[in-house]
Structure formats: structure tokens, C-alpha cells
Amino acid sequence: MSKTFVRVVVLVVMTVRGPSVVNGQQAQNPEVVPLPPVVVEAERGTDERTYSEEQARQEIQRTPGGVAVVGSQEIKETRATALHDVLDFVPGVMIRPRFGNVADESQISIRGSGLRNNFHLRGLTLLIDGFPITNADGFGDFEALEMLAAKRLEVYKGANALRFGVNNLGGAINLVSKIGEDTSLLDMRTSGGSFGFMKHHLATGQSYGPFDVYVGLTHTEQDGYRAHSELLRRRAYSSFGYRLAGGTTLRLDLNYVRSDQDLPGTLTREEFKRNARRRNPFAVNADEARNFDYTRAAFTASIPLTETQMLEWFTQANYQYLDHPLSFAVINQTTYNWGSELRYTLTEPLLGHDNRLTVGVQYAATRQPEQFFENARGNHGAEMRDQTNKATNFAGYVEEQFNATETFALVVGGQLLYAGRSVADDFLSDGDSSGSASFLNFSPKVGFVWTLAPTVQVYGNASRAFEAPLLLELTAPGQLDGNIRELRAQRAWQFEVGTRGEWENRLEWDVSVYDYELWNELQNINVRPFPGAPFTIPRYRNIERSRHTGVEVGGDLLLMHGVSGGLGSRDRDDTLRLRAAYTWSRFVFVDDKNFGDNDLPGAPEHFLRAEVRYDHPLGFWFAPNMEIVPSGYFVTSENTIRSNPYSLMNVSMGWNLAAWNLDFFFEARNLADKDYMSAIIVDDANGRFIEPGDGRAFYAGISYRWR
């Protein structure tokens, strides 16, 4: 364990001792809402999708690690276009848009996951209603997630998502979607703003006895801040539920997405300095784009076996078609995913103590016919590749939460995973690249949640994380010998301690300290396919040893109550609050034969978001905020080139007119109109590292609910 980690553990333990002194005061305060006990027996037949936000927070706080919940009100008060809009104030979650603030595609990293992620998503799992929507190998896309169809978002950081059978490096983000009882008979929202942005949303929902239905439609478009970054996206979400006598709930969810996104490409530092709005000049003739069709059907049965036993069965299938012109090829992929999961939960005392046992088995499979063509000015040229990729996962997991005392809970568990990968090559003129690989792993976990006082928890865990290589990594154009067995699986041990709580309705905090010890971390190095090539292709390799260490601090402080009263007003119920999310990260090679103990490229050491918010009881609120990266970070493994530091000033405001069922919101972003580096492409042989962020922008919207 690193010396840095030992130091930060000592700091956190000292911090935890502070709140325990204050708790004597909390016990005398009748307004204090205690944190939940670690195990609570839900009423018969409770479906987590019907949980209120408070119930969801109680549930997630049973996790012995870093977690967060973002509720519907927080989502409504943003543009709600993509994950970065609603997860900005979750410490430890770094989401950096690639093609503008409205686009789905982002560079997302939790605890150093996805540092190799120069496109799409890897290193963490996206869930809808508790079940993965990524491919069986872990590769995924953002386009299926509609923020306005979300009841809430749940974040499980690092190796803390075992209850969903997830144990990769970054953890999981779970979008809990709306059902009939979560929306009005008519729910409308429209918004617009800079760079041709428009988003329109129309939804309806209702419950009719045991039956409920929800349907939501969304249309989004933008011209884009940069040249060649136009976006047109349409989504449809629907959910149909039926509750049988005895508490069994049956639910069918249907989703459809059509997304057409032009890609502006990456810039060199010199190009960025001259004009951050330009596109990659070498990609002009390639007409780079990402055109995506997605259809998903999912069926869930939640069956209460007894008052203390629940059985959940889930099955889903989705279809994706991708037309993806890039500089080195036009990629056509048709992806078929299907899978099923059976999850059993028992909440019954053990040896006279509260106890909850979760057991699950999972199956997931992907079949992906794929073709590469030469790029003829954005059109299909000669065929370069024709193959069928397949991935299969079988997993079983168990998690036991046992209350050794009324205030101390032990959590133990593990996952056994088999992952298969195979490629059938049908383009044999350049040789046969067919092959297969398999991976077998057991990942244990042990942790605790200690309730020091009614509103204070301390937690800790030691958990193993595991990621088999993705199909695209095993078959990337830059792989040296084309051998699908070339890469090894990434393994890690996470050691984490933290505390979360609330003090006298004035202060809320969430602090996590972690150390990840990694073996065979997957790294992306972008190489030229031939000397002088104006573009690069990805090559992947394993880093023998590396370490990720970090501190995640989130807080909300009531600065003043009755602000106007202090100015002579009769209104004494308005408030002024400070909210902040700070992340400190140190990701390094360990005695690497090529890079020694250098920093791993791609993530800032310090990242801060802070907001001061004024709320008036009439529904008006005003919130200036800042995003700060105070120092540049390395973008090459040699540690020879750094990104630029930046600070952004933003303002949000809104008005909830409850009597008229109206909500207004307004956002001003990057008020100083600074050029800054939003996302970074690491280790690029041509020095094209930079994906610029948007300039000064203004957005506004209105929503209306009826019945």
C-alpha cells in the first residue's frame, strides 16, 4: 500500500473523530433525520423502481464504499442533455464532453477507469433499472440514456457495484427510469440556446389500478460550437407495468434511439491556439461521423416469495447499427446483445441479527458482424475487413450484509466470472485473424458500515476488480501480431475508507479515500499505421504494475437562513448554501520498464466544482458556480507534454411556479469565453491530443405539467 494512501487514511480517521463529538448535539435536535440502519426489510413485493428518492438513498447507503444519488429535482434544474449535466457535483466522477456540451459522447472516468478511453465507453458499466446495457465484453455507448426519462441516477464508484454483479475498475452508473406513477398525464419541456441547440420533450404517464404506463419522446439538435459537429438525435422511452395479486410485478420496457453526429476530430496545440472552433483539417475529406440506431426490449418480473424473500428475473435484447466514417476506415457494425439475470434477496434475521443475502446469476452475449472499408470522402471504398466478433459472459455473485451489532454491519461477497471472446475472420486476403480467448476470475469483497451516530456513517472495504479485454482492444488495427490472445485481463485490489453524514440540517458531507493496486492495466497508445500518416490507429498493451490513489470530497453547507430578513425583509425562509465537489487523483506507473514511475496520462490531479446557491420560498433560485482544473496534466506516458489548466465561470437560475405547474431554467456557461481543453486523446503519435470545450453559451427552457 502506498505511503500516500497511508497519509490520507490517517487524515480521514481524524476527520471522522470530529463528527462523533458533534453527535451529542444532534441527538438533542428533534429535526435531525437519522441515517438508516444497514438492513431494512421492505414491505412485501417492493420494486426498487417504485422507491422514493429517500428510500433510494437509504438503500444505497448500505454500500460500504463511495456512492451517490442524483434525484429528479436536480435533473430538472439542468439542461438534462447528457450525463455531465446531472453528475457534475458527484465527487470522483469526471465527465468531459468530446464534441460539445450537448453531445452524449464524453470521456468519463471514475477512479482512473477509462484513461485509455479515447472513444465510446469502457471501464465502467451503464445500467438501466439495475441491469447492464453495455455489450457483453463491457464496451458501451451513451446514446441510450435519456436524462428526462430518468427518475434518478445512482452512482457506485469503483468496486462497489457488486449488488448488480458489476466489479470493474470504475463501477456503475444506474439510470432508474420513470414509470406511470412518476409523471403527469401531460409533461412537456422545451429548451434552446447557443450553437443551434434545441431540445423538446413530451411525456405522459398514468396508473390505472394495477396497471401503469409511461411514454416519453425527445428530440435534440445542435449546430455545434466547432465546425462539423452537428447533432440530430431522437429518443423514445416506454414502460408498461402490471401488479398481480400477491405483489408480483411484471414490466416491459421499450427504448429506441436514432442519433446522427458529425465528428470535428482532434487538434494539435498549435491549431487549438489559432482557432479552437476549427475541425481537424486532415479529417475534412473523411466526413467523420457517428450514425447510430438502437432498439431495446427488456422484461422484468419481481416476485415476492415470502415476506422476507424476493426473486427478480430480468431478460433483455438490443440491436445496434453503427455507420462510422473515420479517417482510417468506414466502420459498419451490426451488434446484437441479449442476456438474462436471476437475482434472489433474503432479508431475514441470522443468529438474532438483521441480515440481508443477495445471490445472482448472469448471462450475457454479443454477436457483432463488422466490416471496414476504405474511406472515399466519407463513402465506402474497397473492403478492408470482414469479421464476426462474439463475446459471452457467465457470472455468479453473492453479497451478505450482516449486522453484527445495531450500529456495525459486515459486508462480504464475491463474483465468479467466465468471459469468452472470439473472432471469425471472413476477409482472408491479408491472412486469417480468427481466434478465441477466455478468462476466468473470482473477485472477493469484504467491507463494513459503522453508524457512529444517527446521522454519521464510517465505511471501508477491500475489493477486487477485474476487466477482461474488449473485443475492439483484442482486434484493434494497431495490434502488432493480430493475435487475439495478445492482451491479458486487468486486475486490481481496491482499498477504501470513508465517511458520510449530516449535522443539524446545516452540513452534509461525503468523503472517500481509496488506493487501487493494479496489474496488467490496459493502455491505449495511438500509433501511425505508416510513416507520415495524417491519422493514428489504436494499439493496446498491458501495463505490468500501476497504482491509482485518490480522495473524493463532496459537501453541502447552509451558509445563511433568512437572508432577506437580514436585509430588512419580512421573508425569513430563504437560504444561501455552498455546494462543492473536489477530487484529488494520482495515477502512476510502478517501476515500468518504459516509463518508470511516471504519471499515467489523461487525468488532472485536482478537479473542483463549487457553487453558491440562493433559494427563495416563492420558488426562485440563483446559483453561480465554477469549474477549476488548477494545473495541467500529462497527455503522454513519457510525461513530456501537459494540457492547459483552466477555470470556468457559469451561472444557473430557475423559478418553480408550483401553482401553475411551470418551471423555468436558465444557464450561462463559460462566461469569460475561454478556450479550454475539455477532453484529451492520450499518447497520440501525431500530437493530436485536444478536443476543445464550448465557448460562451446561453441556454433556457420551460416545462409544464398537467394532472
- Residue 659 makes CB contacts below 8 A (sequence gap 6+) with none
Distance between CA atoms of 201 and 148, rounded to whole angstroms? Answer: 8
430: number of Cβ within 10 Å: 10
Distance between CA atoms of 124 and 106, rounded to whole angstroms? Answer: 13
- Among 327, 428, 446, 323, smallest CA distance to 386 is for 428
431: number of Cβ within 10 Å: 9
- Among 130, 247, 233, 244, smallest CA distance to 177 is for 130
Q: Which amino acid is at 414?
A: G
Q: For the chain, what is the radius of gyration of the CA atoms?
A: 25
Q: Which amino acid is at 583?
A: T
pLDDT value of position 19 = 36
Phi/psi region, residue 639 (left: phi>0; alpha: psi -120 to 50; beta: rest), is left
- Whole-model pTM: value is 0.89
Domains of the chain listed by start with CATH number: 3-706 (2.40.170.20)
Distance between CA atoms of 244 and 208, rounded to whole angstroms? Answer: 13
Give the three-class secondary structure for 534: coil
Task: Determine how β-strand 67-71 pairs with β-strand 490-503.
Answer: unpaired
- Residue 639 makes CB contacts below 8 A (sequence gap 6+) with 595, 598, 599, 601
CA dihedral 82, 141, 146, 230 (to 10 degrees): 60
Give the three-class secondary structure for 48: helix
Tell the burial category of 21 from Cβ atoms under 10 Å away from its Cβ (0-12, 13-18, 19+).
exposed
pLDDT value of position 93 = 93
Distance between CA atoms of 536 and 538, rounded to whole angstroms? Answer: 7
pLDDT value of position 482 = 56
For residue 529, give Cα distances in angstroms to 526, 537, 539: 9, 6, 10
For residue 114, give Cα distances in angstroms to 244, 299, 602: 43, 30, 9
- Among 623, 514, 467, 547, smallest CA distance to 67 is for 514
Residues 455/503, Cβ–Cβ less than 8 Å: yes
The C-alpha cell that represents 332 in the structure block: 459498419
244: number of Cβ within 10 Å: 12
Q: Which amino acid is at 137?
A: D
pLDDT value of position 44 = 45
Spans of the chain below 50 pLDDT = 1-33, 37-45
190: number of Cβ within 10 Å: 15
Backbone angles phi, psi at 62, to 5 degrees: -85, -5
Q: Which amino acid is at 501?
A: G
Residues 116/540, Cβ–Cβ less than 8 Å: yes
